[in-house]
Chain A
């Protein structure tokens, strides 16, 4: 891996691809067996931004843990390029749902954690850190602790901590959850810009339909319990992406398609008694147009 982070070199071949092949994940809890993923297959393409959507409890986070190597599948295999995943690795770094910055380290120490763990020289670490911190706009905040940062800054610090290591694949598990609407939109713009500049393989999980379509090259929708891929939609909106696209006719068309698919799964989750599915249902009903949905229910 050459140090091309953030220097605008977009040789996409150096990035990786993920193949999830027939993966099943079961958990046994108090004698009860729960199948979270069943025969799930998925291809995260090289140099593309793949977004995964699905109702709560469909095993999105489990799938991420399997790709990252934190957990092992009950059956099936996960491959990075052509190598099976056996454990966590620096080639695929995760930005977690709730912030996973180390609270006892300054922004600088957090960002350089990977470099220090690998024994990279102090000079090079500093050079890389300054570059990446300036890129995410946190250079002035390098000596602050995570709790002293705003939510958006924390997410940027986390992106920087991963990107400084130049991973082949970035995995993001609802990274903008909990941010206020304004910050969220700014972060989406910032993130999509970074992706378009570097062209790294990205695997992004979210709950938000608009966010998903705005970011994605390819949208993957999962089924509810047991989780597997329900549908894949290629998002052919031009890049670079722009907020104005959110109002384009093509965007609305894809959105309608995605919402229909999601609604079916959310309804399943809802009737299975998932509390969070209730929220998603509500949101989807609102987005679909209330009357339309009520008719469906009758």
Chain B
């Protein structure tokens, strides 16, 4: 009983109202044939297609492919980006060697890397991993770098006075101290990787939610385009929720009570 009252509260009710209102508006737009939107399918058509898709293996296979691509590229970006950001934040010399190049490459939109990625990686799959990697990499590095420089000097001084060695300072001060920024970098990066992934799949991919949506377009199956879009939205939401959950688990001190 307690659990139910936790889920069904005013906030969730408002959320339900907002979704219902949106769908009703959509229905209305199609019903009155708003100019330029007359090709829009009814919500019911999309729902029917969606339910049908959910029963097919191929649909979930596309989910799997997209999630795997996100997972590989994203993890690779964290594994390389977090240590790089920490190193740049801790060593001024290392930063002055690496930061200028980094700052030139960083403003290039990840999608602008598509041609070169396709040309240089031996398989399409590898080039998609690479593009997802690029989408998350620069963001995580810049966030970690900022996180390290935001750590108050008095924390480092206090630790040194208390007898901490450089190794302790790194693991007990620098790493936990930059954790909030790491989580922020991961959350933002996750959003960007979905952008990049879908673009890459539409242009170069085989399978995946992006390709699925694109194929619906080439088949002129408008309800299924919308099914694809909604699927991408849900997938992105699930990934962000996962990162947030991970962040809460990793930083118990951020909870208030």
Contact = CB atoms under 8 A, between A and B. Distances in A.
Contact of B162 (A103, A104, A147, A161): A161
Contact of B155 (A93, A100, A117): A100
Interface in A120-164: 145-148, 161
Contact of B157 (A88, A102, A146, A165): A88
Given A70-B157, A88-B157, A148-B257, A165 B162 contact: yes
B161 A102 contact: no
B111 interface: no
Contact of A100 (B158, B165, B176): B158
B165 A117 contact: yes
Interface in B17-69: none
Interface stretch (B182-190, B191-199, B248-256): B248-256
Nearest to B176: A104
Contacts of A94: 157-158, 161
A103 B177 CA distance: 8
Interface residues of B, number: 23
B155 A102 contact: yes
Name which of B154, B179, B251 has the most chain A CB atoms within 10 A of its CB.
Answer: B154
A278 interface: no
Contacts of B168: 117
Contacts, number: 64
Contact of A117 (B163, B251, B252): B163
A89 B161 contact: yes
Interface residues of A, number: 26
Given A103-B253, A113-B159, A96 B154 contact: yes
A33 B256 CA distance: 45
Nearest to A70: B157
Nearest to A89: B161
Nearest to B152: A100
A20 interface: no
Interface of B: 152, 154-155, 157-165, 168, 172-173, 176-177, 179, 251-253, 256-257
Given A94-B161, A100-B157, 15 more contacts: A70-B157, A88-B161, A90-B161, A92-B161, A96-B157, A102-B158, A102-B176, A104-B179, A104-B253, A113-B159, A113-B162, A117-B163, A146-B253, A148-B256, A161-B162
21 contacts: A70-B157, A89-B161, A90-B163, A96-B154, A97-B154, A98-B152, A102-B158, A102-B173, A103-B253, A104-B176, A104-B251, A104-B253, A105-B253, A113-B164, A113-B172, A117-B164, A117-B168, A145-B252, A147-B253, A147-B256, A148-B256
